[in-house]
Structure 1
Amino acid sequence: MAFENVVYPAFIKQEGGNFGIHFPMLLPETGWDFYLTSGPTKEEAIQNAKKALAYLLAGELYDNEELPSQAPIPANLVTEEMELIFIKTSYSDYAKGIEEHLPGRHWHIYFNRDWESDFQAVAYKNMQGFWDVKVDGDLPIEMEQEKLLQLCPTYPVISTVRRRVEAQEAFDSFVLRIKAIVNINHIASQQKRNNN
Protein backbone atom coordinates (compact mmCIF):
# COMPACT_ATOMS: atom_id res chain seq x y z
CA MET A 1 0.00 0.00 0.00
CA ALA A 2 1.78 3.12 -1.19
CA PHE A 3 1.42 6.23 -3.28
CA GLU A 4 4.04 8.81 -4.07
CA ASN A 5 3.68 12.39 -5.25
CA VAL A 6 -0.04 12.24 -5.95
CA VAL A 7 -1.74 15.59 -6.53
CA TYR A 8 -5.35 16.47 -5.68
CA PRO A 9 -7.16 19.72 -6.47
CA ALA A 10 -8.47 21.75 -3.54
CA PHE A 11 -9.39 25.26 -2.62
CA ILE A 12 -8.33 27.36 0.32
CA LYS A 13 -10.78 29.73 1.91
CA GLN A 14 -10.49 32.02 4.92
CA GLU A 15 -12.99 30.92 7.55
CA GLY A 16 -13.03 32.87 10.79
CA GLY A 17 -9.44 33.16 11.98
CA ASN A 18 -8.24 30.14 10.00
CA PHE A 19 -7.65 29.05 6.43
CA GLY A 20 -9.66 25.95 5.52
CA ILE A 21 -8.59 23.51 2.81
CA HIS A 22 -11.53 21.93 0.95
CA PHE A 23 -11.42 18.90 -1.37
CA PRO A 24 -14.82 19.10 -3.12
CA MET A 25 -14.05 16.59 -5.86
CA LEU A 26 -12.44 14.08 -3.51
CA LEU A 27 -15.23 14.45 -0.92
CA PRO A 28 -18.26 15.48 -2.99
CA GLU A 29 -20.80 15.06 -0.18
CA THR A 30 -19.01 17.31 2.31
CA GLY A 31 -16.02 18.93 0.60
CA TRP A 32 -17.81 22.01 -0.68
CA ASP A 33 -19.15 23.05 2.71
CA PHE A 34 -16.62 21.60 5.17
CA TYR A 35 -12.85 21.78 5.09
CA LEU A 36 -10.76 18.65 5.52
CA THR A 37 -8.20 20.56 7.55
CA SER A 38 -7.21 24.10 8.41
CA GLY A 39 -4.46 26.25 9.87
CA PRO A 40 -3.87 29.76 11.19
CA THR A 41 -1.83 30.62 8.07
CA LYS A 42 -2.04 29.46 4.46
CA GLU A 43 1.31 27.70 4.78
CA GLU A 44 0.27 25.77 7.89
CA ALA A 45 -3.09 24.91 6.37
CA ILE A 46 -1.35 23.47 3.29
CA GLN A 47 1.09 21.46 5.44
CA ASN A 48 -1.84 20.09 7.46
CA ALA A 49 -3.67 19.26 4.24
CA LYS A 50 -0.74 17.20 2.94
CA LYS A 51 -0.88 15.01 6.05
CA ALA A 52 -4.70 14.78 6.15
CA LEU A 53 -4.78 13.85 2.45
CA ALA A 54 -2.13 11.15 2.95
CA TYR A 55 -4.14 9.60 5.81
CA LEU A 56 -7.36 9.77 3.80
CA LEU A 57 -5.81 8.10 0.73
CA ALA A 58 -4.11 5.43 2.85
CA GLY A 59 -7.49 4.71 4.43
CA GLU A 60 -9.02 4.19 0.99
CA LEU A 61 -6.32 1.69 0.05
CA TYR A 62 -6.63 -0.05 3.43
CA ASP A 63 -10.36 -0.36 2.73
CA ASN A 64 -9.52 -2.24 -0.51
CA GLU A 65 -10.64 0.71 -2.65
CA GLU A 66 -8.79 2.35 -5.54
CA LEU A 67 -7.24 5.78 -5.15
CA PRO A 68 -10.01 8.32 -5.83
CA SER A 69 -10.16 10.37 -9.01
CA GLN A 70 -8.00 13.48 -9.25
CA ALA A 71 -10.66 15.31 -11.28
CA PRO A 72 -10.24 19.11 -11.41
CA ILE A 73 -12.63 21.51 -9.73
CA PRO A 74 -14.95 22.93 -12.42
CA ALA A 75 -14.14 26.60 -13.03
CA ASN A 76 -17.82 27.59 -13.10
CA LEU A 77 -18.18 26.48 -9.45
CA VAL A 78 -15.30 28.59 -8.16
CA THR A 79 -16.34 31.70 -6.24
CA GLU A 80 -14.34 34.81 -5.34
CA GLU A 81 -13.48 33.66 -1.81
CA MET A 82 -11.95 30.40 -3.09
CA GLU A 83 -8.30 30.15 -4.08
CA LEU A 84 -7.62 27.06 -6.18
CA ILE A 85 -4.57 25.06 -5.11
CA PHE A 86 -3.10 21.61 -5.67
CA ILE A 87 -2.01 19.47 -2.73
CA LYS A 88 0.79 16.98 -3.35
CA THR A 89 1.36 14.20 -0.84
CA SER A 90 3.19 10.89 -0.44
CA TYR A 91 2.61 7.86 1.73
CA SER A 92 6.28 7.71 2.69
CA ASP A 93 6.17 11.17 4.31
CA TYR A 94 3.63 9.95 6.90
CA ALA A 95 4.13 6.15 6.82
CA LYS A 96 4.92 5.68 10.53
CA GLY A 97 1.82 7.54 11.74
CA ILE A 98 -0.41 5.94 9.12
CA GLU A 99 0.77 2.43 10.00
CA GLU A 100 0.04 3.07 13.68
CA HIS A 101 -3.38 4.53 12.89
CA LEU A 102 -4.81 2.06 10.34
CA PRO A 103 -5.03 -1.17 12.39
CA GLY A 104 -7.75 0.36 14.58
CA ARG A 105 -9.76 1.45 11.54
CA HIS A 106 -13.30 0.08 11.30
CA TRP A 107 -16.55 0.80 9.50
CA HIS A 108 -19.89 1.76 11.01
CA ILE A 109 -22.69 0.55 8.77
CA TYR A 110 -26.28 1.73 8.97
CA PHE A 111 -29.35 0.06 7.51
CA ASN A 112 -30.27 1.61 4.15
CA ARG A 113 -27.48 4.18 4.78
CA ASP A 114 -29.69 5.84 7.43
CA TRP A 115 -27.50 7.38 10.14
CA GLU A 116 -30.50 7.43 12.49
CA SER A 117 -31.30 3.74 11.96
CA ASP A 118 -31.77 1.43 14.94
CA PHE A 119 -30.14 -1.29 12.85
CA GLN A 120 -26.37 -0.91 12.91
CA ALA A 121 -23.33 -3.01 12.15
CA VAL A 122 -19.60 -2.62 12.52
CA ALA A 123 -16.85 -4.16 10.40
CA TYR A 124 -13.25 -4.92 11.32
CA LYS A 125 -10.51 -6.12 8.99
CA ASN A 126 -9.54 -9.76 9.50
CA MET A 127 -6.15 -11.46 9.06
CA GLN A 128 -6.94 -12.23 5.41
CA GLY A 129 -7.45 -8.54 4.59
CA PHE A 130 -11.24 -8.78 4.30
CA TRP A 131 -13.88 -7.14 6.49
CA ASP A 132 -16.05 -9.09 8.94
CA VAL A 133 -19.42 -7.38 9.20
CA LYS A 134 -20.97 -7.88 12.63
CA VAL A 135 -24.29 -6.72 14.07
CA ASP A 136 -23.46 -3.88 16.46
CA GLY A 137 -25.12 -4.80 19.77
CA ASP A 138 -28.45 -6.60 19.76
CA LEU A 139 -31.00 -6.35 16.99
CA PRO A 140 -33.69 -3.87 18.02
CA ILE A 141 -36.44 -6.47 17.41
CA GLU A 142 -37.54 -9.66 19.11
CA MET A 143 -36.43 -12.83 17.37
CA GLU A 144 -35.68 -16.30 18.69
CA GLN A 145 -31.96 -17.08 18.73
CA GLU A 146 -32.61 -20.42 17.00
CA LYS A 147 -34.35 -18.74 14.03
CA LEU A 148 -31.63 -16.11 13.89
CA LEU A 149 -28.94 -18.80 13.68
CA GLN A 150 -30.90 -20.62 10.96
CA LEU A 151 -30.97 -17.40 8.97
CA CYS A 152 -27.32 -16.59 9.70
CA PRO A 153 -25.24 -19.45 11.17
CA THR A 154 -22.29 -17.12 11.88
CA TYR A 155 -24.39 -14.51 13.75
CA PRO A 156 -23.44 -11.91 14.98
CA VAL A 157 -20.99 -11.91 12.03
CA ILE A 158 -23.31 -11.68 9.05
CA SER A 159 -20.88 -11.41 6.16
CA THR A 160 -17.24 -11.16 5.13
CA VAL A 161 -16.62 -8.72 2.30
CA ARG A 162 -13.86 -6.91 0.45
CA ARG A 163 -15.31 -3.42 0.01
CA ARG A 164 -17.53 -1.08 2.02
CA VAL A 165 -20.34 -1.02 -0.54
CA GLU A 166 -20.56 -4.82 -0.27
CA ALA A 167 -20.75 -4.53 3.53
CA GLN A 168 -23.61 -2.04 3.25
CA GLU A 169 -25.49 -4.23 0.77
CA ALA A 170 -24.98 -7.36 2.90
CA PHE A 171 -26.26 -5.60 6.01
CA ASP A 172 -29.28 -4.11 4.22
CA SER A 173 -30.15 -7.55 2.85
CA PHE A 174 -29.78 -9.17 6.28
CA VAL A 175 -32.04 -6.60 7.97
CA LEU A 176 -34.69 -6.91 5.25
CA ARG A 177 -34.77 -10.69 5.71
CA ILE A 178 -35.10 -10.26 9.48
CA LYS A 179 -37.93 -7.75 9.02
CA ALA A 180 -39.71 -10.08 6.58
CA ILE A 181 -39.59 -12.96 9.08
CA VAL A 182 -40.80 -10.73 11.92
CA ASN A 183 -43.66 -9.40 9.74
CA ILE A 184 -44.70 -12.93 8.72
CA ASN A 185 -44.69 -14.00 12.38
CA HIS A 186 -46.69 -10.90 13.34
CA ILE A 187 -49.31 -11.55 10.65
CA ALA A 188 -49.55 -15.22 11.66
CA SER A 189 -50.06 -14.23 15.30
CA GLN A 190 -52.82 -11.78 14.37
CA GLN A 191 -54.58 -14.36 12.23
CA LYS A 192 -54.38 -16.89 15.05
CA ARG A 193 -55.91 -14.38 17.49
CA ASN A 194 -58.64 -13.50 15.02
CA ASN A 195 -59.52 -17.17 14.51
CA ASN A 196 -59.86 -17.78 18.27
Structure 2
Amino acid sequence: MAFENVVYPAFIKQEEGSFGIHFPTLLPDYGWENYLVSGPSKKEATQNAKKALAYLLAGALYDNEDLPNQAPIPANLVTEEMELVFIKTSYSDYAKEIEEHLPGRHWHICFNRDEKSDFRAVAYKNKQGFWDVKVDGDLPIGMEQEKLLQLCPKYPVICTARLRVEAEEAFDSFILRVKEI
Protein backbone atom coordinates (compact mmCIF):
# COMPACT_ATOMS: atom_id res chain seq x y z
CA MET A 1 0.00 0.00 0.00
CA ALA A 2 1.63 3.21 -1.12
CA PHE A 3 1.05 6.42 -2.97
CA GLU A 4 3.48 9.25 -3.50
CA ASN A 5 2.94 12.88 -4.41
CA VAL A 6 -0.78 12.64 -5.09
CA VAL A 7 -2.68 15.90 -5.40
CA TYR A 8 -6.35 16.51 -4.60
CA PRO A 9 -8.28 19.75 -5.09
CA ALA A 10 -9.74 21.45 -2.06
CA PHE A 11 -10.74 24.85 -0.84
CA ILE A 12 -9.96 26.81 2.30
CA LYS A 13 -12.75 28.70 3.97
CA GLN A 14 -12.60 30.75 7.17
CA GLU A 15 -14.77 29.06 9.80
CA GLU A 16 -15.43 30.67 13.21
CA GLY A 17 -11.87 31.61 14.15
CA SER A 18 -10.11 28.91 12.13
CA PHE A 19 -9.58 27.86 8.54
CA GLY A 20 -11.33 24.74 7.27
CA ILE A 21 -10.09 22.62 4.39
CA HIS A 22 -12.93 21.16 2.31
CA PHE A 23 -12.61 18.32 -0.23
CA PRO A 24 -15.94 18.56 -2.07
CA THR A 25 -15.13 16.30 -5.01
CA LEU A 26 -13.28 13.73 -2.89
CA LEU A 27 -16.07 13.65 -0.27
CA PRO A 28 -19.18 14.64 -2.24
CA ASP A 29 -21.63 13.61 0.49
CA TYR A 30 -20.37 16.19 2.97
CA GLY A 31 -17.26 17.92 1.59
CA TRP A 32 -19.06 21.06 0.44
CA GLU A 33 -20.60 21.84 3.81
CA ASN A 34 -18.16 20.23 6.26
CA TYR A 35 -14.43 20.59 6.34
CA LEU A 36 -12.18 17.55 6.70
CA VAL A 37 -9.71 19.40 8.93
CA SER A 38 -9.06 22.88 10.18
CA GLY A 39 -6.32 24.93 11.74
CA PRO A 40 -5.80 28.35 13.33
CA SER A 41 -3.96 29.56 10.21
CA LYS A 42 -4.06 28.66 6.54
CA LYS A 43 -0.58 27.14 6.85
CA GLU A 44 -1.55 24.88 9.77
CA ALA A 45 -4.84 23.93 8.12
CA THR A 46 -2.95 22.92 4.99
CA GLN A 47 -0.46 20.84 7.02
CA ASN A 48 -3.35 19.14 8.81
CA ALA A 49 -5.01 18.48 5.44
CA LYS A 50 -1.91 16.72 4.08
CA LYS A 51 -1.97 14.29 6.98
CA ALA A 52 -5.75 13.77 6.94
CA LEU A 53 -5.66 13.17 3.20
CA ALA A 54 -2.86 10.61 3.59
CA TYR A 55 -4.91 8.77 6.24
CA LEU A 56 -8.05 8.88 4.09
CA LEU A 57 -6.25 7.53 1.01
CA ALA A 58 -4.43 4.84 3.01
CA GLY A 59 -7.79 3.82 4.47
CA ALA A 60 -9.24 3.41 0.98
CA LEU A 61 -6.34 1.19 -0.06
CA TYR A 62 -6.57 -0.76 3.20
CA ASP A 63 -10.27 -1.30 2.45
CA ASN A 64 -9.25 -2.89 -0.90
CA GLU A 65 -10.58 0.13 -2.82
CA ASP A 66 -8.84 2.16 -5.52
CA LEU A 67 -7.60 5.65 -4.79
CA PRO A 68 -10.52 8.09 -5.21
CA ASN A 69 -10.78 10.20 -8.33
CA GLN A 70 -8.94 13.52 -8.30
CA ALA A 71 -11.85 15.36 -9.92
CA PRO A 72 -11.51 19.14 -10.13
CA ILE A 73 -13.83 21.47 -8.27
CA PRO A 74 -16.26 22.99 -10.79
CA ALA A 75 -15.42 26.69 -11.17
CA ASN A 76 -19.09 27.69 -11.26
CA LEU A 77 -19.51 26.39 -7.68
CA VAL A 78 -16.64 28.42 -6.22
CA THR A 79 -17.77 31.38 -4.12
CA GLU A 80 -15.90 34.46 -2.91
CA GLU A 81 -15.19 33.00 0.54
CA MET A 82 -13.48 29.94 -0.95
CA GLU A 83 -9.79 29.84 -1.81
CA LEU A 84 -8.96 26.96 -4.14
CA VAL A 85 -5.90 24.93 -3.16
CA PHE A 86 -4.30 21.68 -4.19
CA ILE A 87 -3.24 19.41 -1.34
CA LYS A 88 -0.26 17.20 -2.09
CA THR A 89 0.48 14.23 0.14
CA SER A 90 2.49 11.01 0.25
CA TYR A 91 2.07 7.79 2.15
CA SER A 92 5.75 7.78 3.13
CA ASP A 93 5.36 11.06 5.05
CA TYR A 94 2.95 9.41 7.52
CA ALA A 95 3.66 5.68 7.00
CA LYS A 96 4.62 4.87 10.59
CA GLU A 97 1.54 6.54 12.07
CA ILE A 98 -0.76 5.06 9.45
CA GLU A 99 0.60 1.54 9.91
CA GLU A 100 0.00 1.81 13.66
CA HIS A 101 -3.53 3.11 13.12
CA LEU A 102 -4.89 0.87 10.34
CA PRO A 103 -4.86 -2.53 12.08
CA GLY A 104 -7.66 -1.32 14.38
CA ARG A 105 -9.72 0.00 11.48
CA HIS A 106 -13.23 -1.37 11.15
CA TRP A 107 -16.55 -0.47 9.54
CA HIS A 108 -19.99 0.00 10.99
CA ILE A 109 -22.81 -0.84 8.62
CA CYS A 110 -26.44 0.14 9.15
CA PHE A 111 -29.23 -1.77 7.43
CA ASN A 112 -30.16 0.13 4.24
CA ARG A 113 -27.65 2.81 5.46
CA ASP A 114 -30.28 4.29 7.79
CA GLU A 115 -28.45 5.58 10.85
CA LYS A 116 -31.65 5.01 12.85
CA SER A 117 -31.83 1.34 11.84
CA ASP A 118 -32.11 -1.23 14.61
CA PHE A 119 -29.92 -3.57 12.58
CA ARG A 120 -26.19 -2.98 12.49
CA ALA A 121 -23.07 -4.88 11.57
CA VAL A 122 -19.39 -4.34 12.15
CA ALA A 123 -16.58 -5.54 9.87
CA TYR A 124 -13.00 -6.32 10.83
CA LYS A 125 -10.19 -7.24 8.47
CA ASN A 126 -9.08 -10.86 8.70
CA LYS A 127 -5.62 -12.38 8.13
CA GLN A 128 -6.39 -12.96 4.45
CA GLY A 129 -7.05 -9.24 3.89
CA PHE A 130 -10.83 -9.56 3.56
CA TRP A 131 -13.56 -8.20 5.82
CA ASP A 132 -15.49 -10.44 8.23
CA VAL A 133 -18.91 -8.88 8.69
CA LYS A 134 -20.57 -9.64 12.04
CA VAL A 135 -23.95 -8.76 13.51
CA ASP A 136 -23.49 -5.89 15.95
CA GLY A 137 -26.27 -6.18 18.50
CA ASP A 138 -29.33 -8.38 18.73
CA LEU A 139 -31.64 -9.65 16.05
CA PRO A 140 -35.43 -9.64 16.53
CA ILE A 141 -36.65 -11.18 19.77
CA GLY A 142 -38.19 -14.59 19.20
CA MET A 143 -35.83 -15.56 16.39
CA GLU A 144 -35.18 -19.27 16.78
CA GLN A 145 -31.49 -20.15 16.98
CA GLU A 146 -32.01 -23.10 14.60
CA LYS A 147 -33.57 -20.92 11.88
CA LEU A 148 -30.90 -18.30 12.34
CA LEU A 149 -28.15 -20.89 11.88
CA GLN A 150 -29.87 -22.17 8.72
CA LEU A 151 -29.74 -18.65 7.31
CA CYS A 152 -26.25 -17.99 8.55
CA PRO A 153 -24.22 -21.06 9.57
CA LYS A 154 -21.30 -18.97 10.85
CA TYR A 155 -23.46 -16.55 12.89
CA PRO A 156 -22.55 -13.95 14.16
CA VAL A 157 -20.29 -13.75 11.08
CA ILE A 158 -22.67 -12.98 8.21
CA CYS A 159 -20.18 -13.02 5.37
CA THR A 160 -16.66 -12.29 4.29
CA ALA A 161 -16.30 -9.57 1.66
CA ARG A 162 -13.52 -7.91 -0.26
CA LEU A 163 -15.16 -4.48 -0.62
CA ARG A 164 -17.39 -2.41 1.62
CA VAL A 165 -20.17 -2.26 -0.98
CA GLU A 166 -20.22 -6.09 -1.09
CA ALA A 167 -20.42 -6.20 2.71
CA GLU A 168 -23.29 -3.70 2.75
CA GLU A 169 -25.23 -5.66 0.12
CA ALA A 170 -24.70 -8.97 1.96
CA PHE A 171 -25.80 -7.44 5.28
CA ASP A 172 -28.94 -5.92 3.75
CA SER A 173 -29.79 -9.25 2.09
CA PHE A 174 -29.28 -11.09 5.37
CA ILE A 175 -31.54 -8.70 7.31
CA LEU A 176 -34.27 -8.97 4.64
CA ARG A 177 -34.15 -12.78 4.95
CA VAL A 178 -34.32 -12.51 8.75
CA LYS A 179 -37.35 -10.21 8.51
CA GLU A 180 -39.13 -12.82 6.34
CA ILE A 181 -38.96 -15.39 9.13
TM exceeding 0.5: yes
CA contact (8 A) 2:5 2:90 kept: yes
1:37 aligns to 2:27 (yes or no): no
Larger radius of gyration: 1
1:7 aligns to 2:32 (yes or no): no
Report the CA distance between 1:141 and its aligned residue: 3.5
Task: State the TM-score, normalizing by the size of structure 2.
Answer: 0.99
CA contact (8 A) 2:19 2:41 kept: yes
Q: What residue number does 2:23 align with?
A: 23
Q: What residue number does 1:146 align with?
A: 146
Unaligned runs of 5+ in 2: none
Aligned residues: 181
Q: Secondary structure at the match of 1:94?
A: helix
Q: What residue number does 1:135 align with?
A: 135
Aligned-residue Cα RMSD (Å) equals 0.6
- 1:34-113 to 2 correspondence within 5 Å? 34-113=34-113
- Write the distance in 1 (CA, Å) between the matches of 2:141 and 2:37: 40
- Write the distance in 2 (CA, Å) between the matches of 1:19 and 1:9: 16
CA contact (8 A) 1:21 1:38 kept: yes
Q: What residue number does 1:187 align with?
A: none
- Write the distance in 1 (CA, Å) between the matches of 2:84 and 2:61: 26
Unaligned runs of 5+ in 1: 182-196
Give me the identity figure in percent. Answer: 83
Q: Which aligned segments of 4 or more residues in structure 1 are displaced greater than 3 angstroms?
A: none
Q: What residue number does 1:191 align with?
A: none
CA contact (8 A) 1:118 1:140 kept: no
